[in-house]
């Protein structure tokens, strides 16, 4: 399991607080230079996992290994895994410069060197002008940069981020998101980022560890998680999926017929298990995989449906449809496509044909 690139191993780690289990049994590995997102709803154990990596919480079970060496009992101040706090946790009684120098000072770096180093990082993050300001004179975005500089000045091999963007306003959040990605690429160090937002996780991370109720639900690239959710929880959490409940009817040619309130559709039968005829199944089709046509084309799955509502989200549109059988379908298309479609102007009440190919749906374990 351990290869030369495996930097950090989280091996069957658990954390119990009294009667409650914050982290039940979590295992995953992180390679050097990865940008990992720990994602999940609040209370899923993602922050506790991050805190155990930093040494701020001690696991009650399992082992955390860094380059193969057990880390569990190491005091946080013995580790070099600086954390960027959600509320930044900057020292209010120190200036910006002294906040950034703090970690270097603890490591006994002489004053001139640490001034230089602090200045380098302030320049890099564009906060050199505020060097002698107090923390309460900074905006949220500036504080975020100070927190980043304070952590990165230690030149760690791993940076931990706890909901780094959630305290920023939406406009700044998007900018900081790409800035974090750029920093990660330029520095080549490992980033471990906790977030509850799948859009943040998918936008930044190479790999996502999706957690719920103290357990890992799925590990994979954003694309893998988006296109092939491992279970119902994942499919619902990442959003943009249609979950259709139906009955397996018959399989042939590798395709399986599923009947439900949406009508009758074909989907590629799972290769990892055999579905019995008559079994209750959940079929997942991503909202961006469904097309809307004015009339049947005779290919793929085609279901007649009525437009319920339209939601504009910037350059994309979410369309909610109701099939004749009463099932709800959600479709996401680029705005320009909707505008240039023969269906335009699309409006509630209109009847359309929803179409997707047999390859695009997949079955979830019951």
Partner 1 sequence: MAFWAIPPILWQFAFFVVPLGFLVAMTFWSVRSFRLTPDMTLANWMFILKAGFFRSAYIYTFKLALLTALIASLSAFPAAYTLAFRLQPRTRRFLIFMLVVPFFTSYPVRIYSTQIFFSPEGIINAMIAPLGLGPVSVLDTPTGTVVGYLVLTLPLVLLLQTFALMNTPRDLIEAAHNLGCGRFRTILTVIVPTARVGLVLAATFAFVLSFGDYVAPLYLGGSNPPTLSILIADQVKSGNNWPRASVVAVTMILTLIVVMTAMLALAYGGRKKGRG
| Cβ within 8 Å of residue 362, ≥6 positions away | 228, 267, 268, 270, 283, 284
Question: Which residue do the tokens 């982290």 mark?
Answer: 23
Cβ 78 to partner 1 shortest distance, Å: 8
Residue among 154, 168, 266, 286 that touches partner 1 (CB under 8 A): 154
Report if residue 341 touches partner 1, rule: CB under 8 A: no
Nearest to 121 by CA among 57, 187, 26: 187
Tell me if 167 contacts partner 1 by CB under 8 A. Answer: no
Residue 134 in contact with partner 1, rule: CB under 8 A? yes
C-alpha span between 9 and 86 (Å, rounded):
24
Least distance in Å: CB of 85 to partner 1?
6
Q: Which is nearer to partner 1, 134 or 240 (CB)?
A: 134
- What is the C-alpha separation between 333 and 307, in angstroms, rounded? 14
Q: In the numeric block, which tokens belong to residue 224? A: 């893998």
How many Å apart are CA 66 and CA 158, to the nearest integer? Answer: 11
159/319 with CB nearer partner 1: 159
From 19, 73, 136, 272, residue interacting with partner 1 (rule: CB under 8 A): 136
Sequence length of the chain is: 366
Q: Which of 21, 24, 89, 308 binds partner 1 (CB under 8 A)?
A: 89
Give dist(CA 74, CA 223) in Å, integer: 36
Of the candidates 341, 346, 234, 354, the one whose C-alpha atom is nearest the C-alpha of residue 304 is 354
Member of 17, 25, 70, 91 binding partner 1 (CB under 8 A)? 91
Rounded to the nearest whole angstrom, what is the least distance from the CB of residue 86 to partner 1 in the complex? 9
Find out whether 236 and 225 touch, Cβ atoms under 8 Å: no
User: Smallest gap, in angstroms, from Cβ of residue 280 to partner 1?
Assistant: 48
Position 315 contacts partner 1 (CB under 8 A) = no
Residue 106 as a binder of partner 1 (CB under 8 A): the answer is yes
Applying CB under 8 A, which of residues 83, 152, 194, 201 lies at the interface with partner 1? 83
Shortest gap between Cβ of 147 and partner 1 (angstroms)?
9
CB-wise, 45 or 82, nearer to partner 1?
Answer: 82
Local structure of 310: helix, strand or coil = strand
- Cβ at position 114, least distance to partner 1 in Å: 12
In whole angstroms, the minimum distance from the beta carbon of 316 to partner 1 comes to 38
d(CA 25, CA 10): 10
Cβ at position 125, least distance to partner 1 in Å: 17
Q: Which structure tokens are listed for 12?
A: 């069957």
Q: Which stretch binds partner 1 (CB under 8 A): 69-77, 121-129, 319-327, 345-353?
A: 69-77
Listed residue (100, 103, 36) closest to 76, CA to CA: 103
190-195/158-162 β-pairing: parallel
Report in angstroms how near the CB of residue 81 gets to partner 1 at its nearest.
Answer: 8
CB 244, CB 260: distance < 8 Å:
yes
Q: Give the binding-site size for partner 1 (rule: CB under 8 A).
A: 30
Residues 4-63 close enough to bind partner 1 by CB under 8 A: 54-56
* DSSP-assigned states of every residue in 169-185: -HHHHHHHHHHHHHHHH
Q: Is 361 in the site for partner 1 (CB under 8 A)?
A: no
In the complex, the residues that contact partner 1 under the rule CB under 8 A are: 54-56, 75-77, 80-83, 85, 87, 89-93, 95, 102-103, 106-107, 133-137, 150-151, 154
């Amino acid at each position: 399991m351990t290869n030369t690139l495996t930097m950090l191993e989280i091996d069957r780690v658990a954390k119990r607080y009294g009667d409650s289990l914050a982290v039940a049994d979590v295992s995953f590995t992180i390679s050097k230079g990865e940008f990992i997102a720990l994602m999940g709803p609040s209370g899923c154990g993602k922050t506790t996992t991050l805190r155990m990596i930093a040494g701020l919480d001690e696991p009650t079970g399992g082992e955390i290994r860094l380059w193969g060496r057990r880390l569990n009992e190491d005091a946080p101040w013995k580790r070099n895994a600086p954390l960027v706090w959600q509320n930044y946790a900057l020292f209010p009684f120190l200036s910006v410069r002294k906040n950034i120098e703090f970690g270097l000072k603890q490591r006994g770096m002489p004053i001139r060197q640490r001034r230089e180093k602090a200045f380098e990082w302030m320049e890099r993050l564009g906060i050199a002008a505020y060097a002698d300001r107090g923390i309460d004179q900074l905006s949220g975005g500036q504080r975020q940069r100070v927190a980043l500089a304070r952590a990165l000045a230690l030149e760690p091999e791993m940076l931990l981020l706890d909901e780094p963007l959630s305290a920023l306003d939406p406009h700044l959040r998007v900018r900081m998101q790409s800035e974090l990605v750029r920093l990660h690429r330029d520095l080549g160090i490992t980033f471990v980022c906790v977030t509850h937002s799948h859009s943040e996780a998918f936008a930044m991370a190479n790999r996502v560890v999706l957690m719920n109720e103290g357990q890992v639900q799925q590990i994979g690239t954003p694309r893998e998680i988006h296109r092939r959710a491992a279970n119902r929880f994942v499919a619902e959490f990442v959003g943009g999926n249609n979950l259709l409940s139906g009955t397996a009817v018959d399989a042939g040619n590798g395709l399986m017929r599923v009947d439900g309130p949406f009508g009758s559709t074909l989907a590629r039968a799972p290769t990892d298990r055999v579905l019995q005829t008559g079994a209750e199944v959940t079929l997942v089709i991503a909202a961006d995989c469904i097309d809307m046509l004015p009339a049947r084309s005779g290919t793929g799955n085609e279901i007649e449906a009525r437009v319920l509502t339209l939601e504009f989200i910037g350059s994309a549109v979410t369309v909610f449809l109701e099939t004749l059988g009463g099932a709800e379908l959600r479709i996401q298309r680029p705005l320009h496509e909707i505008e240039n479609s023969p269906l335009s102007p699309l409006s509630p009440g209109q009847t359309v044909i929803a179409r997707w190919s047999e390859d695009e749906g997949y079955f979830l374990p019951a």
